[in-house]
A and B are shown apart, each in its own frame.
Chain A
Amino acid sequence: MASSSKAANDPAVIDLDAAHLTLGTAAANVKILKGINLQIGAGETVGVLGPSGAGKTSLLMVMAGLETLTKGRISLAGTNITNMQEDPLAALRRDMVGIVFQAFRLIPSLTALQNVSIPLELAGRADAETIAAAALRSVGLGHRMTHLPDQMSGGEQQRVAIARAIAPKPRILLADEPTGNLDSATGEKVVNILFKSAQEAGAALVLVTHDASLAARCSRVLEIEDGLIAGDTKQ
């Protein structure tokens, strides 16, 4: 049973309407999302739980405009992106969506500061480095700006990734297992920074995780099973 919720007075920044996603493989087509209705408002923090293969990551990719729906509709901040071409989608992501990956996905040949600057530079910001430096300082890495990713610990790399995601002040922050590659103490630290950064940016945070205690920190928890929302709990 698909479920929905919406912040009372604020228009939804993420709005999915009967979203279907089917992926083709050599063997057969696999239905990943089977008709999801979901609205997420600005400033909401949403934890997404579910077993492996339920469709959590696919849902996140749809929200990032990285997968095109097979059927249904999706809008981000009021803009219908369902049939948007690749390059306008890239521009929209650049201006509106920040993503944090489990495997950090920093560009190895760039320093921390350069990594964080990239989305700002892509947006043509003349003050890209100033903003990037502020973002790094905000995640406690003001002293690591000139370091390359492989000169930093996993926790530090993930903090750089968070700084990169929040630096352009996105309306939507998507995180896919952000603590999956970190020990519990470091993970806790990173999650704190993630929540704090989302709050300061006023962004909606959608966090995919296997960790129920981490999901419990969110204002809303979605449970995904077999491509459908099996539970939607506000806390």
Chain B
Amino acid sequence: MTKTVKNTRQDHRDDMSRITASRDGWGFAWQLAKREMSGSLGRFRVFLGALLLGVAAIGTVGSVAESMRSGINDNARILLGGDIEISSLHTAPSPDIIEAASNFGTVSEVVQMRAMLQAGDRRKLVELKAVDSNWPLVGTAATAPSMPLAAALDQTGIVADDALLRSLGLKPGDRARLGNLDVEVRAALTIEPDRSISFVSFGPRVLISDKTLAATGLQQPGSFITYRYRLLLDNPDDRDAAMATLNQLTEPTHARVREVAKAAPGFDRFINQAEIFLVLVGLTALLIGGLGVAGAVRAWLASRMPVIATLKCLGAPSILIFRIYLLQIFVVAACGVAAGLAVAAIAPLFAIHILSSYVTVPLAKTIYPVPLMIAAGFGLGTAFLFAVWPLAKAEEVRAGDLFRSLIEMPDGWPKPRYLLMMIIAAIGLTGLAYLATHNLGITASFIGGSLAALLLLSVLGNLLVRLLRLAPLPRFVPARLALSNITRPGSPVRSVIIAFGLGLSVLVAVSVSESNLGRQIDNRVAEDAPAWFFIDIQPRQIDMFEQLARSIDGISQITKTPMLRGRVSKINDIPTAAITPPEGSAWILRGDRALTWSATAPKGSEIVAGDWWPSDYNGPPLVSMSKDAADDFGLTIGDTVSINVLGREITATIANLREVDWQSFQINFVFVLNPGVLDAAPHSWIATTHADNDAAADAVERAVTSSFSNISAVSVKEAVATAQRVIGLLGGAVRLTALVTLIAGIAVLAGTVASSESQRLADSVILKVLGATRLSIGLAWFLEYAFLGLLTAIAAAFIGSLASWALVDGFLGAEFILDGWLVFGTTLAGAVATAVLGLAGAMKTLGRKPAPLLREL
């Protein structure tokens, strides 16, 4: 026996000598991870779903935006209509500018304005575009029936949008009235290469020749006419020289020059803003999905506790445990991310199909790797961020607990190195968010806001549970079981309230805000809105116009004001190019602004600083400015604003500030000057008419447009419909956020239900042994999720209403009315969804027979 022992020791020493090194590296961790992982992917459904949703959303948005941007870039010359464009309002740029341009290549003239097209007794406001024989310099226009453009526009020919022709009952060969001229419809316009990309338009397109425009008599002094001269360079290398020459020539005038890089500045801005918004939607999904990831990882690790403890008993160091499970999490995350990327690669094809009616350039059906890589980074980063905590706690599991079958996930904070990893991951994700949105302010405030909302939901959840604990338990057994399940330590109530509550809060906020805005527009339309805005009224026509309008029965109120447009060129002598405008008032510097003059303060406006000038004031130019705009630019009484009007720069001193109610349907201006400054410039008048009834409204429009062929009538009803449509689009986009966050919330709810499945199974078996029927157990569970839904609904109603109030009252400055029924309805739907989904998930354990399970317990 002694010999045997000695031999064995010798063997042992020999064996030990063959040990090369302790194997706790990544390679060995991977071997063990692979062995353990097989067949476990199905346990990560929630994890996979949450990552798929977030990655797909971010990847799709990025790909679609990239596709539109490259569509615009690739077709910039077509969109611009040439290499360089010189444009001006009211009057054409001076001939020397056009002549200078023509030295560099071919120039084409396009004139755009609004006008009324009349067919029989039907009239429509249209966007008129008059072109010369060189148009289009780039791209090709097409008509149906197909014919050469020159032939279509020859004599008094017009081509127009098919929808317009149908609405006026016109077909090729029919005649219509445009200004003073009878025109002949030749064809429908099917392709207009330089059509601007926009979601909102005031009227359908009518294309005519420049000669026809001249014959219509519509080009009146002061009318709102845009002149565009497109230059196609003979030699592309001349671009810089041409830009330098034209910039120098136009600088002191009212004309402006732009090149292909800014072919669609408005739409570019729209794409960027939409992308930011939609990326943030994806981030919300990932944020909520992250809770699902953490829950799923925790549940997975909880089920692996005996294995982890066993490995530790067998000598596995902590870091090996961390690596084994981190690798498994990464493999699962990679599957979720890959699935999300697959969706993101395919989805743009459908999105492009939908967008093609708005975007007039061809969009390439290709895969854009950068947005997909960013989306993948988001997915893996989120999975890592939310998995580290449970992973770090798993490595701390006490191996000794194996002896007592009491293995539980340890509580408390993870070790500092893991907290550091989480901080690095969070910084990395913020960096990625910045890469995706290019806007640190919005990204930071979004993430901050989301975290604040999550914190608030968490606090509310805790508060509600504490209150429930204080309440006496009901005598009805299922209700008692339900309540005790919610209030017990470790109940899923907080994660459900956070995850589901965030989506529901957004839904409440959107519904309440939209209802508030919609109601206010409706109320304003009913109370204040005029029936028509009449534009391009010539000074010589204004008295006749007023006389005519007043002669019609039912016209209760007519307001009129002179108007022309000018560009803000300097503020306090600083050129606007050197000013970074505040976000809310950037539009004031972006384009030409409407200007007017008045001897007295405009009706309904409130002077909040300074005084209105005397009615006979005849000194240096003074301006009255809207207070909001002045505040945004930091301007006050005595500061100066320089405005370029038709090439002449007028510098006016701010004499007073007005509170302007932009939501009223009054004619409002940012800038009102004193009389005597602009009166002599070519200008037109704008007027509104209020009608007591629809018949009077129709009568005034008919009378005015048939008496004055150059005056266009803009229907307030249609403008409001357009505004409502835009609000609807915005509401739809925000509702999409709510939907995505709700789906992510459902994933988390499903995960919570799944992770408590074994506990629920054990409970149901014990309850059945004690004599509970399936009905009473099912009822208890239903009540549990109903209570949970109710708590979530209360939290969401509070936070959603608060957010809506902040938006409507604080941000938009409108009156906030809390629609209790709407909040109740929305949150009730959420509560019912929570109860039904939770119960549906839990029910599958109810059908299991107790006997086989009892043997395992």
Contacts and interface: CB of A to CB of B under 8 A. Distances in A.
Contacts of B5: 42-43, 202
Which of A108, A122, A171 counts the most B-chain CB atoms under 10 A from its CB? A122
B310 A121 contact: no
A61 B318 contact: no
B28 A105 contact: no
A130 to B, nearest CB: 11
B718 interface: no
Contacts of B310: 105-107
Contacts of A201: 8
Interface in A95-144: 95, 99, 101, 103, 105-110, 114, 118-119, 121-127, 131
Interface string B22-35: 11100010011001
Interface size class of A (residues with CB under 8 A): 35 or more
Contact of A86 (B35, B36, B307, B318): B318
Given A87-B317, A107-B310, A169 B15 contact: yes
B19 interface: yes
Interface string A152-172: 000000000000100011010
A200 B4 contact: yes
Interface stretch (B398-406, B728-736, B793-801): B398-406
A1 B725 CA distance: 90
Contacts of A107: 36, 307, 310-311
A123 B15 CA distance: 11
Contact of A109 (B15, B36, B315, B320): B36
A210 interface: no
A189 to B, nearest CB: 22
Given A57-B403, A67-B400, A202-B4, A90 B307 contact: no
A22 interface: no
A220 interface: no
A99 B320 CA distance: 20
Interface in B1-56: 1, 4-6, 8-9, 11-12, 15-16, 18-24, 28, 31-32, 35-40
Contacts of B494: none
A118 B19 contact: no
A60 B35 contact: no
Given A109-B35, A124-B21, A202-B5, A90 B11 contact: no
B348 to A, nearest CB: 40
B19 A169 contact: no
Interface size class of B (residues with CB under 8 A): 35 or more
Contacts of B82: none
B100 interface: no
A122 B23 contact: yes
Contacts of B404: 57
Contacts of A202: 4-6, 8-9, 12
A127 B314 CA distance: 17
B268 to A, nearest CB: 54
A111 to B, nearest CB: 9
B20 A124 contact: yes
Contacts of A127: 18
A176 B313 CA distance: 13
Nearest to B15: A169
A84 interface: no
A199 interface: yes
A114 to B, nearest CB: 6
A66 interface: yes
Nearest to B314: A119
B306 interface: yes
B447 interface: no
Interface in B263-289: none
A94 B9 contact: no
A158 to B, nearest CB: 14
B35 A99 contact: no
Interface in A193-229: 199-202
B315 A105 contact: no
A123 B315 contact: yes
Interface string B633-675: 0000000000000000000000000000000000000000000
Nearest to A131: B15
Interface of A: 42-43, 57, 60-61, 64, 66-67, 86-87, 90-95, 99, 101, 103, 105-110, 114, 118-119, 121-127, 131, 164, 168-169, 171, 176, 199-202
Interface of B: 1, 4-6, 8-9, 11-12, 15-16, 18-24, 28, 31-32, 35-40, 306-307, 309-320, 398-400, 402-405
Q: Closest 7 A-B residue pairs measured CB to CB?
A: A94-B315, A66-B400, A202-B5, A202-B8, A87-B317, A119-B314, A124-B23
